[in-house]
Structure 1
Amino acid sequence: MVFRSVAVPVKAALGFLLSIIAALGSVVAVFQWGWLAGLFQVDATGPVLSFLPILLVGRLFGLAMDYEVFLVSRMREEHAHGLAAVPAMQRGFAHSASVVTAAALIMVAVFGSFAFSHVRVVKGIGFALAVGACEFSRHDRRANVGREGTRVLTVVPDPAHGDVTRPLPAPHPR
Structure 2
Amino acid sequence: MKSSLASADWRLEENAWCLLLGAENKAGPGPSPCGESGRCQLRAEPRGDDESSMSKVLKRKKHWSAKVRECAVSWGGAGEFGSVVELLGGAEHGLFPFLGHMDLDALVCHVGSLPYYGDVLLEVNGTPVSGLTNRDTHAVIRHFREPIRIKTVKP
Please say whether Structure 1 and Structure 2 have the same fold, judged by a TM-score greater than 0.5. Answer: no
TM-score after normalising by structure 1: 0.22
| Structure with the greater alpha carbon radius of gyration | 2
Greater helix proportion: 1
TM-score after normalising by structure 2: 0.24
Greater strand proportion: 2
